[in-house]
C-alpha cells in the first residue's frame, strides 16, 4: 500500500452538491497483484491471470478489523470515491457520502473502493498488456460479469487480511455488486445497501447499452478493438455512447428545469446543426470530457457485464432463494423519478428479501433528479443511511463515537 497522503482538491462540476473534500481525510492508494498461481476463474469458464486490482482506502482500520465498508462504483466510476481524480483533477464522485462526518464517516469506518475488473483506472482490463503477446488485450480480454467483479473484490479483501465486511454499499452497477456480495458471500457481509439498482437488467436498459456499444464500434478509429495498437482512440463513438447514457441518468423534469428550450450563447436559432440549445451543448460537453478518463473497450465490457446480470436466473428464477437463510441486514433505496432503475425494481428485491425472512429496510425518496440522485445532495438519503449505519454498527458491537453514535 502506498504511503498515506492528504489531498485538498478544488470544487468542480463533478461535485454538484458543493461539498469541498475534507483536507484532513486520510487516504491511501494501493495495487493488489495476483500472479499465475492465483487465476481469477470467470463466469464464462475462462480464467484471467495475472491480474491486478487498483484500490483506494479511507480512514483507519480498527484492531478487530470489524469496521470495513466496501464502496462499489457504478459503470463509469472508479476507486476515487472521495479523493481527487488523478486524470481530471476533479473531486471524488461521492463527496457527501464518504468522508469525515459523512454518513460513511471515515473517522469511524475503514472504507475501501476498488476499480472493477475490466476497468481502466489501474485494474486489469482490455487496455492492459496481454502477458503472452506483449500487446493490449483489446477484444482478447475475456468477457466479465458482475459476479467476476465481486470475486476479484473478495480476493482483494483476502489479500488485505479482512475476514468480513461491516457494510457493502453501491448505487446503480455498484448496487448490483452489493446484491451479488450479499447473495454469494452472506457470511462475509454484515449489512448491505443497494441503491437505485435492480436484481437484473431490464430489456430497456440492455437496449440503451447496445446503442452505446454500437456507437463505439461504428467509429472508424475503433479498429475492431485494436485502436491502441495503431495509436488511435474511438473518441467520437465513446462520446456519443456517453451522451446517450447520460440522458438516462436524468429525469425529464430535471432536464426541463435546468435547460428547457434555452438557447446556447445566442438569441435565435441558426438554422444549422451546431449546438443551438443548452441541452445540446451540455450533452456534447459530457461526451467529450468523458473520453479523457475512460477507455472505449472498458465501456463495452462493463456495460455487457451489467446486461448479463440476472441474480434471479442464477436461482431457478426465484429471487428469494438468492438470500435464503441470510443474516445480512439490508437497506434498499430508490428514487421516485429514476426511470432507469425504477422503484418497482427495488420493491421486487424487497419482496424477495421479505420472502427469505431477511432483515430489510426500504425507502423510496421523493426526488426529481432522476437516477443520478444517489450521487447528489439528497438529505433524506443521507439521514436514512446514517440512521441505518448507526443501528447496524450498534448491532455489530462497535464502540460509540463522541456524539453518541455507534462506530
pLDDT per residue of the chain (407 residues) written in tens, 0 to 9: 322 222 222 323 344 444 445 555 767 889 999 999 999 999 999 999 999 999 999 999 999 999 999 999 999 999 999 998 998 888 899 999 999 999 999 999 999 999 999 999 999 999 999 999 999 999 999 999 999 999 999 999 999 999 999 999 999 999 999 999 999 999 999 999 999 999 999 999 999 999 999 999 999 999 999 999 999 999 999 999 999 999 999 999 999 999 999 999 999 999 999 999 999 999 999 999 999 999 999 999 999 999 999 999 989 999 999 999 999 999 999 999 999 999 999 999 999 999 999 999 999 999 999 999 999 999 999 999 999 999 999 999 986 554 445 44
Q: Looking at the structure, tell me whether residues 76 and 156 fall in a common domain.
A: yes
Give the angle subtended at the CA of 284 by the CAs of 116 and 255, to the nearest 5°: 90
Whether 174 contacts 198, CB under 8 Å: no
Residue 338: active-site member: yes
Asked whether residue 4 is assigned to any structural domain, the reply reads no
Residue showing cell 480480454: 141
Residue 40 CA to residue 145 CA, distance in Å, equals 12
Asked whether residue 32 is assigned to any structural domain, the reply reads yes
Which of the following is catalytic: 73, 80, 201, 371? 371
Asked whether residue 240 is assigned to any structural domain, the reply reads yes
Q: Looking at the structure, tell me whether residues 97 and 197 fall in a common domain.
A: yes
Q: Looking at the structure, tell me whether residues 221 and 238 fall in a common domain.
A: yes
**pLDDT attached to residue 23:** 52
**pLDDT attached to residue 27:** 79
Q: Looking at the structure, tell me whether residues 370 and 286 fall in a common domain.
A: no
Which grid cell is 288? 467529450
Q: Looking at the structure, tell me whether residues 186 and 220 fall in a common domain.
A: no
Give the sign of the dihedral formed by CA 275, CA 278, CA 282, CA 285. positive
Overall domain count for the chain: 2
Residue 182 CA to residue 247 CA, distance in Å, equals 30
Asked whether residue 99 is assigned to any structural domain, the reply reads yes
Q: Looking at the structure, tell me whether residues 256 and 156 fall in a common domain.
A: no
Q: Looking at the structure, tell me whether residues 86 and 221 fall in a common domain.
A: no
Asked whether residue 402 is assigned to any structural domain, the reply reads no
Residue 172: active-site member: yes
Domain limit, last residue, from 302, 323, 350: 302
Q: Looking at the structure, tell me whether residues 158 and 58 fall in a common domain.
A: yes
| Domain, as residue range, for 293 | 206-302
Domain limit, last residue, from 302, 320, 350: 302
**pLDDT attached to residue 240:** 98
Assessment of whether the complete model's pTM goes beyond 0.85: yes
> DSSP assignment of 345-384, as one string?
HHHHHHHHHHHTT-EEEEEEE--SS-GGGGGS--HHHHHH
What letter would DSSP give residue 177?
A: H
Which of the following is catalytic: 172, 183, 191, 298? 172
**pLDDT attached to residue 401:** 52
Residue 176 CA to residue 271 CA, distance in Å, equals 45
Q: Looking at the structure, tell me whether residues 195 and 223 fall in a common domain.
A: no
Q: Looking at the structure, tell me whether residues 166 and 220 fall in a common domain.
A: no
Whether 135 contacts 128, CB under 8 Å: no
SS3 at position 148: helix
CATH number at residue 129: 3.40.50.1820
Residue 371: active-site member: yes
Asked whether residue 17 is assigned to any structural domain, the reply reads no
| E-assigned strand segments in 304-358 | 329-335
Whether 349 contacts 198, CB under 8 Å: yes
| E-assigned strand segments in 136-259 | 165-171, 189-195
Asked whether residue 9 is assigned to any structural domain, the reply reads no
Domain limit, last residue, from 302, 321, 339: 302
Give the angle subtended at the CA of 274 by the CAs of 268 and 280, to the nearest 5°: 85
Asked whether residue 1 is assigned to any structural domain, the reply reads no
SS3 at position 285: helix
Q: Looking at the structure, tell me whether residues 121 and 193 fall in a common domain.
A: yes
Q: Looking at the structure, tell me whether residues 212 and 118 fall in a common domain.
A: no
Which grid cell is 394? 450498534
Residues 382-399: b if buried by 16+ CB within 10 A, e if exposed: eebbbebbbbbbeebebe
CATH number at residue 249: 1.10.1740.110
Which of the following is catalytic: 91, 295, 338, 372? 338
Amino acid at each position: 500500500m502506498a504511503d498515506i497522503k492528504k489531498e485538498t482538491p478544488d470544487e468542480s462540476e463533478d461535485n454538484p452538491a458543493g461539498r469541498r473534500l475534507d483536507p484532513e481525510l486520510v487516504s491511501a492508494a494501493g495495487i493488489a497483484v495476483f500472479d499465475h498461481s492465483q487465476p481469477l476463474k470467470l463466469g464464462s469458464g475462462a480464467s484471467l491471470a495475472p491480474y491486478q486490482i487498483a484500490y483506494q482506502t479511507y480512514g483507519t482500520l480498527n484492531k478487530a478489523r470489524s469496521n470495513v465498508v466496501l464502496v462499489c462504483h457504478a459503470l463509469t466510476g472508479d476507486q476515487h470515491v472521495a479523493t481527487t481524480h488523478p486524470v481530471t483533477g476533479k473531486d471524488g464522485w461521492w463527496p457527501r457520502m464518504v468522508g469525515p462526518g459523512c454518513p460513511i464517516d471515515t473517522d469511524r469506518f475503514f472504507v475501501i473502493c476498488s476499480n472493477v475488473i475490466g476497468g481502466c483506472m489501474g485494474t486489469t482490463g482490455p487496455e492492459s498488456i496481454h502477458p503472452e503477446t506483449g500487446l493490449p488485450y483489446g477484444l482478447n480480454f475475456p468477457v466479465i460479469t458482475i459476479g467476476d467483479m465481486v470475486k476479484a473484490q473478495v480476493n482483494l479483501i483476502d489479500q488485505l487480511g479482512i475476514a468480513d465486511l461491516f457494510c457493502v454499499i453501491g448505487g446503480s452497477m455498484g448496487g448490483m455488486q452489493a446484491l451479488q456480495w450479499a447473495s454469494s458471500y452472506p457470511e462475509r457481509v454484515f449489512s448491505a445497501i443497494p441503491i437505485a439498482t435492480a436484481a437484473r437488467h431490464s430489456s430497456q436498459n440492455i437496449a440503451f447499452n447496445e446503442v452505446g456499444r454500437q456507437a463505439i464500434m461504428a467509429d472508424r478509429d475503433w479498429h475492431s478493438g485494436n485502436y491502441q495498437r495503431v495509436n488511435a482512440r474511438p473518441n467520437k463513438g465513446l462520446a456519443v455512447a456517453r451522451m446517450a447514457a447520460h440522458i438516462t441518468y436524468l429525469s425529464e423534469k430535471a432536464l426541463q428545469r435546468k435547460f428547457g428550450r434555452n438557447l446556447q450563447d445566442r438569441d435565435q436559432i441558426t438554422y444549422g446543426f451546431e449546438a443551438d440549445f443548452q441541452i445540446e451543448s451540455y450533452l456534447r460537453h459530457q461526451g467529450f470530457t468523458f473520453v479523457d478518463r475512460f477507455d472505449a473497450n472498458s465501456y463495452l465490457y462493463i456495460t455487457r457485464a451489467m446486461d448479463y446480470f440476472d441474480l434471479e436466473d442464477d436461482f431457478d428464477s426465484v429471487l428469494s432463494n438468492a438470500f435464503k437463510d441470510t443474516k445480512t441486514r439490508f437497506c434498499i433505496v430508490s428514487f421516485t423519478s429514476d426511470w432507469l432503475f425504477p422503484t418497482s425494481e427495488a420493491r421486487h428485491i424487497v419482496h424477495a428479501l421479505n420472502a427469505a425472512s431477511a432483515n430489510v429496510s426500504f425507502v423510496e425518496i421523493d426526488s426529481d433528479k432522476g437516477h443520478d440522485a444517489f450521487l447528489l445532495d439528497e438529505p433524506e438519503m443521507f439521514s436514512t443511511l446514517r440512521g441505518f449505519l448507526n443501528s447496524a454498527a450498534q448491532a455489530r458491537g462497535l464502540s460509540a463515537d463522541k456524539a453518541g453514535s455507534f462506530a
